[in-house]
Amino acid sequence: MATAAAPTSPPAAPPPPPPAAAAAAVPLREHLASVTAEPHLASVLTAIAAAVEEVAAAVRTGLTRKCATFNAFGDEQLEIDVIADEIIVRHLRTSTSAVCVASLFAVFPGDALTGAAMTGRDAVASVLVTYGPRTMLYVALRGVAGVAEALLVPGGGGGGQPGGWSVLRVLHGWVPGKRLFAPGNLRATGDNPGYRRLVDAWLDARYTLRYTGALVADVVNLLIAGGGVFCNAVSAAAPAKLRLLHELIAVALVVEAAGGVASTGGGALLDVPIVHAEVRCAVCVGGGEEVRRYDEWVGPAAAAQE
């Protein structure tokens, strides 16, 4: 009499490995102490962080009414603009020289900020800030690879965490092939054929638009994504708006520290002389391949305007 073996159940799958433990956040002061031995620089960056913490609290109160005053560039100010200026200046007076506009900071040694021999290479650090439900600092130091991403944890931050700034990670690398683009000053496409060609190429290749019109937000968006390109080209009818000293040096230092490239279309942005505080530039920041294409197609025409 024939017999049949009883069917056997397949062996049980091994249990999945436990998830890797997340890296513990590091206090900002501790991170700065590990990447720079210069106490004055650490003092400046700590003062910026303290100012941002206070500005973040002011932002949450919603002080967005216009206050009938104008800044040096003719823009009507909101209450929060004036309050932020006062907070930042007060904190920086406790430290050494720094240049800041809104939430971009470039840190220079000594007292000189302009001159034919001064360039963005003289900056020793820069900070970009984003506000919102999460207030974030992005800190770059000259000669140090990577950009520290720090989160503001309000006092009594929950889970037993103390308040203050915690470095969550250090951002490295600008991944080639990321199809993200943030094209500013699109009016320049009307009489800058190279810029029109470049924007059309991005659209034809189905790049994803990541442009908000806010310089810091656009650059930080690409920084977090690890790739993409931001540019603000110029033309005779649509001249440069972004200022080298007050805005672009801070951005360029962060992008280069993260592994990207910053150009005016005619050369490295950090090599442009800061002959005076109102030098304005075209700019392209991103991965090397994208920036090289910008340099080739858009080129150096009107790259820096005084």
| Sign of the four-CA dihedral 288, 289, 292, 298 | negative
| Ramachandran sector of residue 177 (left: φ over 0; alpha: ψ -120 to 50; beta: rest) | left
Give the torsion through C-alpha atoms of 169, 219, 101, 97, to 10 deg: 50
The answer, yes or no, to whether residue 230 has pLDDT greater than 80, is: yes
Query: Band of the pLDDT at 299, cuts 50, 70, 90?
Result: confident
Return the CATH number of 180-305, one of 3.40.50.12660, 3.40.190.80, 1.10.4080.10, 3.40.190.10.
Answer: 3.40.190.80
pLDDT digits 0-9 by tens, 78-109:
677 778 878 887 887 666 444 433 378 999 99
pLDDT greater than 70 at residue 10: no
- The CATH 3.30.540.10 portion of the chain extends over 26-171
The answer to whether 101 and 241 are in contact (CB under 8 A) is no
- The 10s digit of each residue's pLDDT in 130-176 is 887 788 999 999 999 999 999 998 875 445 556 789 999 999 988 88
CA dihedral 116, 121, 125, 126 (to 10 degrees): 80
Q: In this structure, are strands 98-101 and 304-305 parallel, antiparallel, or unpaired?
A: unpaired
Q: Considering only CA atoms, which of 75, 132, 142 is closest in space to residue 106?
A: 142
Q: How far apart are CA 153 and CA 142, in angstroms?
A: 26
For the record, the structure tokens of 54 come out as: 């206070």
pLDDT digits (tens, 9 = 90+) for 214-223: 899 999 999 9
Q: Which superfamily, per CATH, for 26-171?
A: Fructose-1,6-Bisphosphatase, subunit A, domain 1 (3.30.540.10)
> Which range is least confidently modeled, 69-73, 245-249, 251-255?
69-73
- Which pLDDT belongs to residue 15? 56
Of the candidates 268, 202, 207, 290, the residue with the CA atom closest to the CA atom of residue 282: 268
* pLDDT tens readout for residues 30-56: 888 888 878 778 888 888 888 888 888
CATH 3.40.190.80, the chain: domain bounds: 180-305
Q: What is the largest CA-CA distance in the chain?
A: 104
77: nearest Cα among 65, 86, 62, 95: 65
Selection from 102, 137, 103, 144 nearest residue 123 by Cα = 144
